[in-house]
Amino acid sequence: MAIIRKLNGITPKIGKNCFIAETAVIIGDVIIGDDCSIWYGAVLRGDVNPIRVGNRVNIQDGAIFHTLHKESIAQVGDDVSVGHNAIIHGAKVGNNVLVGMGAILMDNAVISDNTIIAAGAVVLSNQILEPGVYAGIPAKKVKEGSAQIKESAHKNAQGYLMYKEWFLKDYEEAPASTVFTDPKNRE
């Protein structure tokens, strides 16, 4: 069971048809929309300011959401993929956005709809990005926005809707008999 905790009188709110992995952590002032997936080791810590997640969002393994005390809000639109080990720290992310693995979005950065942030990119505080593809440290536009970029970001989010359904419908603890004591006997 995931760690979902009330803090300072505020209980997280989770929409319909969501998959929340057992090792995910969701604390305090967090609202998650419908059809989302929060994967293993992801942390959404709404202790010092709100975190808002739209519909059909996937927050992949190890991703972290947090904010600055009374200075920023972490907000993500609809149809967004937040890659493995990415950090959203008080940034605003639009719709149809792909945040690559290990990317960092700092406080009060604004990511426009239909944008891709490359793996490992760092979007600095207060940076406002137009649609396109951004990469590097600090993140710089490497490709203009297009229908292809919008479709690519949207398609990634759609794929995670399918994965989420696998876990909601056919996911159970494996029996103890699947643990092998003899590494040579794996049949």
C-alpha distance from residue 172 to each of 51, 59, 75, 96 (Å): 30, 21, 32, 31
pLDDT-based confidence at 173, cuts 50/70/90?
confident
Q: What DSSP designation does 118 have?
A: -
pLDDT-based confidence at 172, cuts 50/70/90?
confident
pTM of the predicted structure, to 2 decimals: 0.92
The mean of the pLDDT values for the chain is: 94
What are 87-109's pLDDT values in tens digits? Answer: 999 999 999 999 999 999 999 99
Torsion of CA 15, 102, 144, 141, to 10 degrees: 130
H helices of the chain, where?
A: 147-169
Q: Where are the domains of the chain?
A: 3-178
pLDDT-based confidence at 174, cuts 50/70/90?
confident
Q: Please state, for a pLDDT cut of 90, what percent of the chain lies above it.
A: 89
Is 70 exceeded by the pLDDT of residue 48?
Answer: yes
Side-chain-side CA neighbours of 41 within 13 Å: the count stands at 9
The residue ranking higher by pLDDT, 70 or 33, is 33
pLDDT at 181: 63
Is 70 exceeded by the pLDDT of residue 180?
Answer: no
C-alpha distance from residue 6 to each of 50, 132, 174 (Å): 13, 38, 31
pLDDT at 182: 64
pLDDT at 164: 95
Q: Tally Cβ neighbours within 10 Å of residue 6.
A: 10
Q: Contact at 8 Å (CB) between 5 and 23?
A: no
State the CATH class of domain 3-178.
Answer: mainly beta
Is 70 exceeded by the pLDDT of residue 132?
Answer: yes
Sign of the four-CA dihedral 145, 150, 151, 152: positive
